[in-house]
Copies of this chain bind each other. A is one copy, B any other.
């Protein structure tokens, strides 16, 4: 290869790397926005803060716009760079991750709508403590999944994915408790249903965070770990 060509190749690959880096950063920006939406939606519900809930709803458009823009950038990068192997895996992982992030944003919006309805009703003595706890755990799970994505850390991703099991158990506890409350006080059924839908939305956000972890493992290890057991997922992440 002559020097000019080598320089050109070097230049192209530097530009390509910058593009991939940009894609990753945009995913993290989108992830940060989704995290904020979850935090605000849960806080609005717990505090009965209608104003905060009403701020969450239109902000979902920003999440959607980021999904469309990043998706488009991915298609352009594939068409222009014709990446192979690990670079292609990164782009595919980005396309999948932003789909999950967008749906997490939808769930946050749902919680905000529930928060507005709940704010107009009598508040229970528990002050929605259980939703606060579930919300904290799910938000942290989302944060750590995105952190594993940012650092391309398959082992961290496997640990985060495992924690989703705890979220599922916590969610089931809320559902059981809610059914009991409904039977004890049928007048509160409509209110408790909104709490249950919110808990379900949070549980779904946890599932999406787990999906992101699985993409990170796929990305780093080149092995699809979806629909496998948590043990298999751990093993793959450790490179066994």
Contact = CB atoms under 8 A, between A and B. Distances in A.
Interface string A91-109: 0100110010000000000
A190 interface: yes
A126 interface: no
Contacts of A99: 96, 99
Contacts of A226: 64, 67-68
Given A179-B190, A179-B193, A92 B68 contact: no
A68 B190 contact: no
Nearest to A91: B78
A224 interface: yes
Interface residues of A, number: 32
A189 interface: yes
Interface stretch (A5-13, A24-32, A38-46, A79-87): A79-87
User: DSSP class of A's interface residues: helix, strand, loop or mixed?
Assistant: helix
A92 B75 CA distance: 8
A71 interface: yes
Contacts of A224: 68, 71-72
A74 B189 CA distance: 47
Count identical subunits in the complex.
Answer: 2
Nearest to A68: B224
Nearest to A190: B179
Given A82-B82, A183-B186, A186-B182, A88 B75 contact: yes
Contact of A61 (B68, B189, B227): B227
Contact of A182 (B61, B75, B88, B189): B189
B186 A64 contact: no
28 contacts: A61-B227, A64-B226, A67-B226, A67-B227, A68-B226, A68-B227, A71-B224, A72-B224, A75-B88, A75-B89, A75-B92, A78-B78, A79-B84, A79-B85, A79-B88, A92-B95, A95-B95, A95-B96, A96-B99, A179-B190, A179-B193, A182-B182, A182-B186, A182-B189, A183-B186, A183-B187, A183-B189, A186-B186
Interface of A: 61, 64-65, 67-68, 71-72, 74-75, 78-79, 82, 84-85, 88-89, 92, 95-96, 99, 179, 182-183, 186-187, 189-190, 193, 196, 224, 226-227
